[in-house]
Amino acid sequence: MATSDLITPAPNTWCPGCGNFAIEHALKDVLTGMIDGGTPREEFVLVTGIGCHGKMADYLGINSFYAIHGRTIPVATGIALANPDLRVICCAGDGDCYGEGLEHLVFAAKRNVDITLIIHDNRVYGLTTGQYTPTSPLGFPGRSTPAGSPEYPLNPLALMVATGASFVARGYSRRLPQLRQLIRDGLSHRGLSFLEILQVCASFFNQTAYYDEHAYDLDPSEFPTRDVDRALRVAREWDYSTDSRIPLGALYRTRLPTYQEHLAAHRAGTRDPASAIRGFLDERR
Ligand SMILES: Cc1ncc(C[n+]2csc(CCOP(=O)(O)OP(=O)(O)O)c2C)c(N)n1
Ligand code: SF4
Ligand SMILES: [Mg+2]
């Protein structure tokens, strides 16, 4: 199958230079490879939120669902629970997922729901032309904060490691090979995979030069780690000050029973869901 087969005829309205193009290409390439490898195209479902990122649902030729702003994760969770054979991918914006929908993110991590989250974090409300979001830096001069945002940004990686997500990674829209690998790893992971993608917004918060200068790759011989304390230290390395470095790559990964596995064990009347999951104890050693 040609990768172009997954592109729909919908006219693309992203701005020239938008990082969403790279995320779309990476996802399309990974899906094409998996479909060629035998996974039926019908087994993928994409849920998106409202925002520039949400147009992924229009542009990628797989089953998709446009959720309302902030509600991608409950919709994705419902689809995944009701259809255990489907692979559910959720593309959400930073405003969408860290603002409106933050409680859903926390609960998805706590429950270890088996879905893949791809967060298009441009650190701005792109579609509504430049308001600050939870990851905008202190002093961000957005449309709703002309005097500069008076808040420190949220650290999504630290939040996810602390809350129980079983796979936590950061990519960057200008590092395409790594992005593909992270998406591939996320889709093959059992449990919540959380992929925070630094996405360039060419029109309202173009951080290309800053990211290019400060980003570095985690050492793949050491990461992803299962050591929560170590992962938290690295997640906090980028403190959003102008001189701190930005680690990229898979940071934390472990195997824990998923929400779906817990529910299945409950349905089967198993007293200890964890022990019912073959390989769980071995894999944690
Ligand atoms: C509950 C709700 N609040 C606000 C809006 C208006 N709105 C639509 S898109 C958007 C910004 C989206 O920002 P983000 O999630 O970061 O996506 P991006 O456009 O940056 O990809 C907002 C505020 C809405 N649709 N629903
Ligand atoms: S406003 Fe920003 S995020 Fe939206 S399409 Fe344009 S460059 Fe991309
Ligand atoms: Mg955004």
Mean pLDDT of 243-252: 95
Q: How far, in whole angstroms, is CA 18 from its chain's centroid? A: 17
Per-residue confidence (pLDDT) for residue 272, from 0 to 100: 64
Question: 78 is written with which tokens?
Answer: 């419902």
- Please report the pLDDT score of residue 266 as a whole number: 85
Ligand nearest to the CA of 20: 2
Question: Same structural domain for residues 284 and 206?
Answer: no
Question: Which residue, by CA, sits nearest to atom 5 of ligand 1?
Answer: 69
Q: Is the confidence at residue 276, as pLDDT, over 60?
A: no
For residue 13, which atom of ligand 2 is closest to its CA? 5
Does 261 share its domain with 247?
no
Proximal ligand: closest to the CA of 19: 2
Mean per-residue pLDDT, 176-202? 98
Q: How far is the CA of 46 from the centre of ligand 3 (A)?
A: 18
Average pLDDT over residues 67-85: 97
Give the mean pLDDT of 146-168: 96
Q: Are residues 70 and 141 in the same domain?
A: yes
What residue has token string 């479902």? Answer: 45
Nearest to 186 by CA among 131, 249, 134: 249
Binning pLDDT at 50, 70 and 90, where does residue 63 land?
very high
Does ligand 1 have an atom closer than 6 angstroms to the CB of 189?
Answer: no
Question: Could you tell me if 92 and 64 lie in one domain?
Answer: yes
Cα-to-centroid distance, 200 and ligand 1 (Å): 17
- 157, pLDDT greater than 50: yes
Confidence of residue 8 (pLDDT cuts 50, 70, 90): very high
Same domain? 173 vs 268: no
pTM: 0.95
Task: For residues 141 and 265, state if they share a domain.
Answer: no
Residue 47 φ then ψ, to 5°: -110, 130
% of the chain with per-residue pLDDT over 90: 88
Sheet holding 116-121, edge to edge: 63-66, 44-48, 87-93, 116-121, 193-198, 167-172, 246-253, 215-217
Query: Which pLDDT value is given to residue 258?
Result: 95
- Using the mean position of ligand 1's atoms as its centre, give its distance from the Cα of residue 52 in Å: 8
Residues with CB under 5 A from ligand 3 (ion): 93-95, 122, 126
pLDDT greater than 50 at residue 284: no
pLDDT of 285 strictly over 50: no
Q: Give me the amino acid identity at 221.
A: S
Task: Tell me the pLDDT band of 283, cut-offs 50, 70 and 90.
Answer: very low
The mean per-residue pLDDT over the stretch 53-65 comes to 97
Q: How many A from CA of 121 to the centre of ligand 1?
A: 12
**Range 12-23 average pLDDT:** 98
Question: In sequence order, which ranges of the chain are alpha helices (DSSP H)?
Answer: 20-36, 56-59, 72-82, 94, 102-111, 156-163, 176-188, 208-214, 228-235, 259-267, 273-276, 280-284
CATH code for the domain in which residue 57 is found: 3.40.50.970
Which ligand has an atom closest to residue 54 CA? Answer: 1
**Rounded to a whole number, what is the distance in angstroms from the first to the last CA of the chain?**
40
Asked whether 93 lines ligand 1 (CB < 6 A), one says: yes
- 103 with 177, same domain: the answer is yes
| 161 confidence band (pLDDT: 50, 70, 90) | very high
DSSP 8-state secondary structure symbol assigned to residue 190: S
Confidence of residue 5 (pLDDT cuts 50, 70, 90): confident
**Reported confidence tier of residue 188, pLDDT bands at 50, 70, 90:** very high
Q: Which residue has the higher pLDDT, 247 or 266?
A: 247
With a 6 Å cutoff on the Cβ, whether 20 touches ligand 2 is: yes
Same domain membership, residue 261 and residue 248:
no
Show the domain range for 280. Answer: 257-285
Do 250 and 264 fall within a single domain?
no
Q: Give the pLDDT of residue 21.
A: 98
Q: Indicate the angle between helix axes 259-267 and 72-82, nearest 10 degrees.
A: 40
Same domain, 29 and 130: yes
Q: What pLDDT score was predicted for residue 274?
A: 63
What is the CA(214)–ligand 3 centre distance, in A?
21
Radius of gyration of the chain (CA): 18
Decide whether any atom of ligand 2 lies within 6 Å of the 203 Cβ.
Answer: yes
Q: Provide DSSP, 72-112.
A: HHHHHHHHHHH-TTSEEEEEEEHIIIIIITHHHHHHHHHHT
Structurally, the chain folds into a number of domains equal to: 2
Whether residue 219 is found in the same domain as residue 269: no
232 and 268 fall within a common domain: no
Q: Which residue has the higher pLDDT, 4 or 108?
A: 108
Locate the ligand 2 atom nearest the alpha carbon of residue 17 and give its number: 7
Probe target for ligand 2 pocket from 18, 119, 121, with the most ligand atoms within 8 Å of CB: 18
